[in-house]
Amino acid sequence: MDSALISPTDLKAMLGTGEVVIIDTRAPDSYAAGHIPQAVNLHDIFTFLATSDATGMAELKDKFAAEFGAAGLDGAKTAVIYEASMDSGFGQSCRGYFLLSYLGYPKVKVLHGGFAAWQAEGLEISTAAAAPAPAGFDVSADAAAIMMDKDDMKAALDDGAAIILDVRDIDEWIGTSSSPYGVDFCPRKGRIPGAVWIEWYRMMKPTAQGPMLKSKDEVLAECATVGITPDTPVKLYCFKGARASNTFLALKEAGIKDVAIYFGSWNEWSRDPDLPIEQGLPFGA
């Protein structure tokens, strides 16, 4: 399997070839202060809150097909997505990777280490806003299996073969906070019943270029702590699908075959009082 990760050096070699569209997922002020040359700023990749019903998924598809097309993605060019660093943007570059994969885009890479790794290599930084030539972006349904809706997650509750993996921060897992946006941003705190937990940070380790995803064997070792093998169907969730996307990429790079994300995640699940949750400390104290 070809890696979905690209190094700063390999990305630098692609600049000026006309074969790449670089997408910066950071906030507009960070982009304006300095970015990788030719990069297009698409912060909506991180901020957009999706619902998993038919209307919500249609809105997501329409919105991002339009935005990715406007950025110049035409099916032939490689999309390279980056954030500030792998552990400081809540997985937003990986969320872009997941969205493009879901929409069926054939060539998607994530800059390993993000902008921090680019800077660590001493590579060129620009403050010029990109002006890409818009392109036609075709949505394919081929990758629909990686996207879960509420009903898919409800079905997973009774699927003895699958593991529901919660990758949120510890305060969300133990139910003292409902989200990264604030303790009471969501109406309920807790967990999806039966979920196991690996905090998303555990998929990364420090390097001289900043945090990077762990190796295949290291990721599989983390997964083994909750009973996940390469053949285990894994159903991921977080708050809105960003941190889960970071874990999604780590698991796919490690060779785990069947990984899907409940993209609506806790933001959606917690707002439906008919959906079951677990509350209280997960260890029964």
Neighbours of 54 (CB within 10 A): 9
Phi, psi angle pair for 196, to nearest 5°: -105, 170
**pLDDT tens track for 175-208:** 999 999 999 999 999 999 999 999 999 999 999 9
Give the strand pairing for 40-41 and 204-205. unpaired
The DSSP-derived string for 52-118 is -SHHHHHHHHHHHHHHHHHTT--SSSEEEEE-S-TTTSTTHHHHHHHHHHHTT-S-EEEETTHHHHH
As a whole number of angstroms, the distance between CA 154 and CA 63 comes to 27
As a whole number of angstroms, the distance between CA 28 and CA 113 comes to 20
Amino acid identity at 16: G
Per-residue pLDDT of the chain (285 residues; tens, 9 = 90+): 689 999 999 999 999 899 999 999 999 999 999 999 999 999 999 999 999 999 999 999 999 999 999 999 999 999 999 999 999 999 999 999 999 999 999 999 999 999 999 999 999 999 999 999 999 898 886 667 999 999 999 999 999 999 999 999 999 999 999 999 999 999 999 999 999 999 999 999 999 999 999 999 999 999 999 999 999 999 999 999 999 999 999 999 999 999 999 999 999 999 999 999 999 888 865
Amino acid identity at 228: I
Residues 281, 32: contact at Cβ < 8 Å? no
Amino acid identity at 266: W
Contacts of 180 (CB under 8 A, 6+ apart): 90, 169, 172, 239
As a whole number of angstroms, the distance between CA 66 and CA 51 comes to 18
Helices 242-253 & 216-224, crossing angle to 10 degrees? 110
